[in-house]
Amino acid sequence: MSTGTIGATAGYRPGRTLTVWQEWRRQATRRRTQFALGFMILLPLIVLVAFQFDTGGDDDNGGGEFASLIDLATSGGLNFTLFTLFVSAGFLLTVVVALFCGDTVASEASWGSLRYLLAVPVPRARLLAVKLVVALGYSAVALILLASTALLLGTLRYGWSPLRSTVAAEIPAGEGLLRLLGILGYLAVGLLVVAGLAFLLSVLTDAPLGAVGGAVLLFILSSILDQITALGSIRSFLPTHYTDAWLGLLSTPVQSDDIVKGCISAVAYATLFWSLAFWRFTRKDVVS
Amino acid sequence: MKRAPRRTVCVMPAIRSARVRRALPAVVVASALLVAAAVWAAWPESQAYTTEEQVITVRSGPGGDEPVDLDTTLYLPTDRSGPVPAVLLAHGFGGTKESVRADAQDLAGLGYAVLAYTARGFGRSGGEIHLDSPDYEVRDAQRLLDWLATRPEVSEDADGDPKVGVVGGSYGGGLALMLAAQDQRVDAIVPMITWNDLARSFLPESAGANTVDGVFKKGWAGLFFGGSAGIGTDPICGRFARDVCEMYQRTATTGRATPEAVDLLRRSSPATVLDRIKAPTLLIQGESDTLFPLSEADANARGIAANGTPVRVAWFTGGHDGGQGPRSDRDRVRFLTGQWLDHYVKGEGEAPANSFTWSRVAGFDAMDRGLVTNGYSVDDYPGLSGTATERVPLAGPPQPIANPAGGNPAAISALPGGGDLASAASEVGGLIGDLPGQHAIFQSEPLAQAVDIVGAPTVSIRAASPTGEAVLFVKLYDVDESGAATLPGGIVAPVRLTGLPAEPAQARTVTVTLPAIVRRIEADHRLRVVVATSDQGYATPAEPTLYTVALGGDGITVPTVAGEPIPTTAVLWRWVLAGLIAAVLLGLVVVLLVVRRRQRRADSTIREEYAQTPLVVSRLRKEYADGFVAVSNVDFTVERGQVVGLLGPNGAGKTTTLRVLMGLTQPSGGEIYVFGHRLVPGSPVLSRLGALVEGPGFLPHLSGLDNLKAYWRATGRPEADARLDEAVEIAGLGDSIHRKVRKYSHGMKQRLAIAQAMLGQPELLVLDEPTDGLDPPQIAEMRRVLKRYATDGRAVLVSSHLLAEVEQTCTHAVVVNKGEIVASGPVEEIVGDSPSVRLDVSDVGAAEAVLQRLDGVRSVIGDGANGLVVDINGTARSEVVAELVRAGVGVDRVVPRRRLEDAFLSLVGDNSRGSGDR
């Protein structure tokens, strides 16, 4: 540490600048953070209320074997949570993660406060690492808040019963909870792609909206391309190809092949994007 | 598919020319990329074979003299050196040579000359369907072997004896077996999903009755025989041979077989000729097959192995109901086939192991919604009775069940040939059709542990019937915890019992062999045996009758096989994932180590001569990525106690210099030293600087005070060092310091930013345009603050484009323009009086004449209509004025000039547009 402080003023240590906790508090005071996390609590509530309007109509939701997730949503707390995750996984969670990871550096740049942090000086790699850890932390909190609120509300309203799906036999509640945690874990890993992309854009641009929107747009583009079966095996390389692989955790025994591939894809993309972000940020001229 | 790429290639130039004319290069590039991608995606892999289509006329029939045209395609591998072994590829019932095209391409790719042909009675081939009759279809195939032997491309074992294997599924599989029995030139066969005894297949009976008493499988028979009727000239028989057609008509009409019908079907069955098969046989059978169940392959395997001929058996999850099965199954079947042919036909590779492989449905694929299967293997084929058996007790009272009049309504157990749909439906328990009152249930307790059923379970029942006869359907369900029942494979065991007593008490026990299945019954699931009176797929007695059925023994015997799971790529992927994570972590550690090492090696030397100098900028140059040179060569020094003004017009390079000074941008050349330490982005010595560059930067959602606190916390330095109160006082925001920064005016933010820069009383304060947005009293206050600040050995660097400000605030000034230093030094020296003076006179001409005469005047330059700039050398200004007045020239104004003014004003005038503030 001594080499890092040569020439510094008394009391300055690079390793003490901008700690994770400080960054956590910086972000916690923001409306954006509070709204996003608040919505994670609100969404299960809205869904729950919406289910109260159930008139018993027999709409076909499509989607094959897994469509029944909707029909089974009210069969218990676990299924309600599963449903909530099912409807959020595609878009909502993507947006939330893109928000946390895409806004973090770009917003500091747009406020001008990034200049002053770098002049402290907070070492650039440290600044980025702290920002990344906190953004991922908030993303995880959002995911956990969503799932735990859904589980709590669902269990209070529909009771504690085994996890049901049409692709597998009933899964006992205890194991069902484990499966649910597995699904949460896979969703978290899968969202690393968005986190990586948004974070990279956040470093590349000074416009927070550009970083968040850009990440979401690219994610949607990848999802659209993934629908085009004509692309054949190229699709396996799309970052969104394995987003639905967590459904494999609902069958008995668990189908883990695609989950493993999805993890590989997510980890590889996230590492690539983050490496590019660090490479770029530690070299770029901060001119905003 | 194959022609598509060529078409795309032709289209490309057209697109290009059209777009170019419209001068939209971006569109051209985009479409070129798209076309390239399409071509790349659709480009056929270089064909590994050539094809020859021809109609071959062969002579067959009982006398060998009936000509028939067979439509054939010969696939020849392109990269062959000399003759290659051949494969005769036969198609399934209702197909043609085209339906086996993919298989033919596959085999040709493996280096075989593949002769695919359309069997007689189908497609463009002539003749009638005789159901793989030894006199017709089998003899046709023999003639094709003759034909192959004449081809120079095909290698031979002996003259007229080609090296040849026969591959085929279903109808083609039956042909392979029959041909191998009839023609010893066949070197190996791979019959798939085919029959052993066609009579038993259409007239199954699972309690040991004669085939003639079998229960007619009308659903499949209708598809098999009826599906081809109406084609051709005869609307009843279609292309079926007369005897076959009449046999079916009779049987389907009565629902009962005759001995003649059984004989005819037997004639088309390998069962009678198995002892003559000497060609090594690979039998592949489907687990989802209600037409030719696993027991057919089992009978073939036992019959052929009895001769000592090598036989291998493999099961996959498809079949006549389940299709080709998922990819893992298809890959396994392809591998096994290739291995078998390579060894026994081509003569390459090790002898295939004798192991028995099978697969089991494990669930649904979440991605493509298909089935997922796991493969298993054991060293030897155990047959249908497993390597071990398990007895599961069943319970249930004797139950009366009704045979519906006319056999309708009937339970639905399977959709014949339903493909993936049926198999998926049975997998999720969607095809349950047991009708109330028509079935009896005998069920086990929940199993304590999972049972892997591989083979045919047996169960004993007793039945009583007032007519002395009963047709019953016995089936085994897997019932999960929630009560959902699944019928594995959708397959049932029909039994026809005769000589039954009317009284249940007198009923004797019969053992029913249930169809062979592959199924894992999970722990806590139950086994349920259902005995039903009707089934959609079978012909049942039309008379309404009431039977009574009871369990014969105390349970069901299920065969099990403990197989080794066949390793799949899943394991590989897991290793890939582990490897990837390890690589990422390792990479991270390496990067951290490299960074730390680099930090340790970083230039930590101190330039002693600058150790007491707050700032030394030396030959600084900054060129941006776009080639714009913002700073080309800047040198200056800030000493302790100085307030140095960096003066220049907009775009002169002031801000860029300060950016480099704060470590925000990398200089392209030159050095900056702060107290002797070389300054690079992130240098710890930056902590001795306080700065305001390019305007304030605050978190808008925090109050001014919170912003200052948050900033100080981010420095990680002790709170007491901040001297927060002094900074707040300098900001002079009063109570507004507690309001959110979002609501601040520009001037308020500016003052807060200056206060932030002064937090911790840094030894060098760098302020970029500090008075921007301040009102005059605040500007005056700021001047005092800065002057006071540069005491105690501290120094201040202020940039400004206002001369007056620098003049009034600074002790020293550095004037830059276009990235270069124009002048520098103490302000008094720069700003002080110059020897020249500007005079406004009444008569410029006269004045000039007077001045030229004076000794102390070096030069006189006209400046405007009445103005003159006079360089006086030593002479007092008063004397010059006195001279002029004496000469009668009126002097309106005398303005002493200052050195800097000339230079700076001309710079600004020259450069007012700037070169872009970067």
Non-local (6+) Cβ contacts of B56 within 8 A are: B69, B70, B72, B117, B143, B144, B147
Tens digits of residue pLDDT in B121-142: 888 888 888 989 999 999 999 9
**B165, two tokens:** 């294997």
Q: Could you give the 3-state DSSP secondary structure of residue B531? A: strand
Peptide bond into B25 cis (omega under 30): no
First to last CA, chain B: 56
Least CB–CB distance from A260: residue in B577, B664, B696: B577
Tens digits of residue pLDDT in B697-750: 999 999 999 999 999 999 999 988 888 998 888 888 888 899 999 999 988 999
Confidence of residue A8 (pLDDT cuts 50, 70, 90): confident
B600 neighbourhood in chain A, CB within 8 Å: 3
| Interface probe, candidates B365, B367, B621, chain A, greatest A C-beta count within 10 A | B367
- Nearest-CA distance A81 → chain B (Å): 19
Write down the pLDDT at residue B903: 57
Confidence of residue B42 (pLDDT cuts 50, 70, 90): low
Confidence of residue A7 (pLDDT cuts 50, 70, 90): confident
Separation between Cα atoms, residue B531 and residue B556, nearest integer Å? 13
Write down the pLDDT at residue B19: 36
Q: Tell whether the model's pLDDT for residue B503 goes beyond 60.
A: yes
B762 neighbourhood in chain A, CB within 8 Å: 9
B484 neighbourhood in chain A, CB within 8 Å: 169
- Nearest-CA distance B441 → chain A (Å): 21
Highest mean pLDDT among A94-103, B474-483, B494-503: A94-103
Give the number of residues written for chain A: 288
Confidence of residue A185 (pLDDT cuts 50, 70, 90): very high
Q: Work out the angle between the directed axes of helices B569-601 and A257-281 (0-180°, nearest 10).
A: 20
Separation between Cα atoms, residue B794 and residue B640, nearest integer Å? 5
Write down the pLDDT at residue B422: 46
Do residue A118 and residue B762 have CB atoms under 8 angstroms apart? Answer: no
What residue of A is the nearest CA neighbor of B696?
Answer: A112
Separation between Cα atoms, residue B882 and residue B885, nearest integer Å? 5
User: Which position has the higher pLDDT, B325 or B3?
Assistant: B325
Write down the pLDDT at residue B905: 61
What residue of B is the nearest CA neighbor of A226?
Answer: B367
Write down the pLDDT at residue B41: 58
Write down the pLDDT at residue B36: 64
Tens digits of residue pLDDT in A127-172: 999 999 999 999 999 999 999 999 999 999 988 888 877 666 678 8
Helix (H) or strand (E) holding A155: helix A124-158
Between chain A and chain B, the number of residue pairs with CB atoms below 8 A apart is: 212
B526 neighbourhood in chain A, CB within 8 Å: none
| Interface probe, candidates B713, B750, B758, chain A, greatest A C-beta count within 10 A | B713
Do residue A118 and residue B682 have CB atoms under 8 angstroms apart? Answer: yes
All domains of chain B, ordered by start, with CATH?
4-42 (no CATH), 52-157 (3.40.50.1820), 389-563 (2.60.120.260), 608-829 (3.40.50.300), 834-899 (3.30.70.100)
User: Which position has the higher pLDDT, B17 or B95?
Assistant: B95
Are B561 and B379 in contact by the 8 Å Cβ rule? The answer is no
User: Which position has the higher pLDDT, B614 or B322?
Assistant: B614
Tens digits of residue pLDDT in B319-370: 888 888 888 888 889 999 999 999 999 888 888 888 899 988 877 666 666 7
Tens digits of residue pLDDT in B261-320: 999 999 999 999 999 999 999 999 999 888 999 999 999 999 999 989 999 999 998 888
Closest CA to B84 of B101, B65, B108: B108
The percent of residues above 90 in pLDDT, for chain A, comes to 55
Write down the pLDDT at residue B366: 63
Confidence of residue B30 (pLDDT cuts 50, 70, 90): low
Write down the pLDDT at residue B428: 43
A119 neighbourhood in chain B, CB within 8 Å: 662-664, 686, 689, 691, 693
What residue of B is the nearest CA neighbor of A231?
Answer: B41
Tens digits of residue pLDDT in B172-229: 999 999 999 999 999 999 999 999 999 999 999 998 888 888 999 988 888 888 765 4
Separation between Cα atoms, residue B744 and residue B483, nearest integer Å? 69
Do residue B699 and residue A26 have CB atoms under 8 angstroms apart? Answer: yes
A255 neighbourhood in chain B, CB within 8 Å: 362-366, 372
**B289, two tokens:** 């097959």
Least CB–CB distance from A7: residue in B367, B663, B685: B685
Confidence of residue B1 (pLDDT cuts 50, 70, 90): very low
Do residue B716 and residue A17 have CB atoms under 8 angstroms apart? Answer: yes
B602 neighbourhood in chain A, CB within 8 Å: 3
- Nearest-CA distance A19 → chain B (Å): 7
Separation between Cα atoms, residue A237 and residue B413, nearest integer Å? 41
Least CB–CB distance from A3: residue in B599, B676, B686: B599
- Nearest-CA distance A72 → chain B (Å): 14
Q: How many other C-beta atoms lie within 10 A of the C-beta of residue B373?
A: 25
What residue of A is the nearest CA neighbor of B663?
Answer: A119
Do residue A4 and residue B762 have CB atoms under 8 angstroms apart? Answer: no
Separation between Cα atoms, residue B374 and residue B381, nearest integer Å? 18
Proportion of chain A in helix, strand, coil states, percent, rounded to 5:
75, 0, 25
Helix (H) or strand (E) holding B901: helix B899-911
Closest CA to B797 of B580, B613, B574, B600: B613
Do residue B714 and residue A17 have CB atoms under 8 angstroms apart? Answer: yes
Tens digits of residue pLDDT in B316-329: 988 888 888 888 88
B362 neighbourhood in chain A, CB within 8 Å: 251, 253, 255
Question: Does ipTM exceed 0.85?
Answer: yes
B718 neighbourhood in chain A, CB within 8 Å: 11
Closest CA to B247 of B263, B228, B232: B263
Angle at B162 between CA B161 and CA B164, to 5 degrees: 125
Do residue B697 and residue A116 have CB atoms under 8 angstroms apart? Answer: yes
A31 neighbourhood in chain B, CB within 8 Å: 701
Q: Tell whether the model's pLDDT for residue B11 goes beyond 80.
A: no
Separation between Cα atoms, residue B598 and residue A200, nearest integer Å? 25
Do residue A251 and residue B681 have CB atoms under 8 angstroms apart? Answer: no
Do residue B684 and residue A7 have CB atoms under 8 angstroms apart? Answer: yes
- Nearest-CA distance B765 → chain A (Å): 12
Write down the pLDDT at residue B655: 87
Complete DSSP assignment for B668-728: SEEEEEETTEEP-TT-GGGGGEEEE-SS----TTSBHHHHHHHHHHHHT--GGGG-HHHHH
Q: Could you give the 3-state DSSP secondary structure of residue A184? A: helix
Tens digits of residue pLDDT in A80-124: 999 999 889 888 999 999 999 999 999 999 999 999 999 888 999
| Mean per-residue pLDDT of chain B | 84
Are B496 and B403 in contact by the 8 Å Cβ rule? The answer is no
User: Which position has the higher pLDDT, B421 or B513?
Assistant: B513
Do residue A3 and residue B604 have CB atoms under 8 angstroms apart? Answer: yes
Do residue B659 and residue A125 have CB atoms under 8 angstroms apart? Answer: no
Do residue B715 and residue A166 have CB atoms under 8 angstroms apart? Answer: no
DSSP state of B447: P
B624 neighbourhood in chain A, CB within 8 Å: 285
Q: Could you give the 3-state DSSP secondary structure of residue B517? A: strand
B593 neighbourhood in chain A, CB within 8 Å: none
Write down the pLDDT at residue B400: 92
User: Which amino acid does the sequence have at B447?
Assistant: L
Do residue B687 and residue A12 have CB atoms under 8 angstroms apart? Answer: yes
| Interface probe, candidates A1, A5, A6, A9, chain B, greatest B C-beta count within 10 A | A9
Peptide bond into B393 cis (omega under 30): no
